[in-house]
Amino acid sequence: MLRGFNQCLEHIRDQTARHGPFPHVRVANGYLWDTIKGGMTYREFSILAAVHCLIGESKCARITRDRIRAAALGYKRASDLFDRDSKLTDSGNVLLSQRQDHAVPLKTEQLRYTLDGLEARKFFARVSVGRSAYFSNKLSREELRKTVFARRTWINFTLGKHRDEDRELAGRIQKTNSTKSANSPQSPRFYSDEGGQEPPETSPQAVTRTPPLDSPVSHQLVTTTIETPFIETPLIKTLSIHTRGVGAHAPEFQKPSLEEVKEFESRLHKNDCSYAGQWFEERGTDNRWTTQNWRKDASRYIFDAITKNNRIARLKQ
């Protein structure tokens, strides 16, 4: 027995040097003595030790048949012996040829029969889902089924829960925004003489004024209700909007001349190309232009044309 123990230690050192450290597994000494006395075959003992080793400290583990076949012979990975089609590789044949006990991997039928017997004798719990098998030496079969179900469905369950929370959040945001819109004051409206609508009645405005610094109450703010006088500015006159207590002013429609457009373009850029004539032919004869509007449209048109021509020139280079 001591000679066999020394051989095991030598085999472990050799395998560790070849493939790195291996996980250790504890098996009840009753299994070992039962195997020595003939109550359990060595095949059953090696497969049971392989399953315990692959489970490790986890509650359960997904284990393939090839991993059990390789671990039963003392190898760390299934790829040490088999390919993806469960066939022996050339390197696997070399490893097997170096064994002194001349052991060979179990066939699939032998492994299936032995696992069924060990499961029936309750050495471990096993649950098969499709082509996957889950093993546990710490959980009962019912507990293992619940654990496997949670593992296989937690992604969809978690994502579904997240999507439900997102929809609930979107509903709260929409409800809050609609409530704020209903309670917020209406934005100011603009009136024109063409629409036929009357401006709202004049209402006094509350203006906050700060007294002079030499005033004895300069540290306080005084709020006074006054009538706001209307001051006609070019922008108000051009846009023709209503202010409080003042009627509408009709916009001044004036078509620009070609010379005005060219002069305006000369202030925009110093490019050799001129686009003022193109804009004047396409849009300058429109009767809807005011002094401000045609300048905005012309500048946008000219800059777009310059950008387009520069892009075409870069592509040609």
Between the CA atoms of 179, 181, 182 and 186, what dihedral angle is there, to the nearest 10 degrees? 160
The pLDDT of residue 134 is above 90 = yes
Please enumerate, as own/partner, the contacts of 234-238 that have beta carbons within 8 Å and a separation of 24 or more. 238/290, 238/291, 238/292
Q: What is the mean pLDDT of the chain?
A: 76
Q: What percent of the chain has pLDDT over 70?
A: 72
Closest listed residue to residue 51, CA positions, set 107, 135, 110, 117:
135
pLDDT in tens, 51-108: 998 988 889 999 999 999 998 988 888 888 999 888 989 988 888 888 888 889 999 8
Helices 42-55 and 65-72 cross at an angle (nearest 10°) of: 120
* Residue 133 or residue 12, greater confidence: 133
* Residue 200 or residue 311, greater confidence: 311
Question: Read out DSSP for 173-188?
Answer: HHHHHHHHHHHSPPPP
**pLDDT for the residue 211:** 52
What pTM was computed for the model? Answer: 0.47
* Residue 246 or residue 89, greater confidence: 89
* Residue 316 or residue 206, greater confidence: 316
**pLDDT for the residue 291:** 62
The pLDDT of residue 226 is above 70 = no
**pLDDT for the residue 239:** 44
The pLDDT of residue 185 is above 70 = no
Q: Are 93 and 73 in contact (CB under 8 A)?
A: no
What are the start-end ranges of the H helices in the chain? 2-19, 29-37, 42-55, 65-72, 90-97, 108-120, 141-183, 234-239, 258-268, 276-279, 291-316
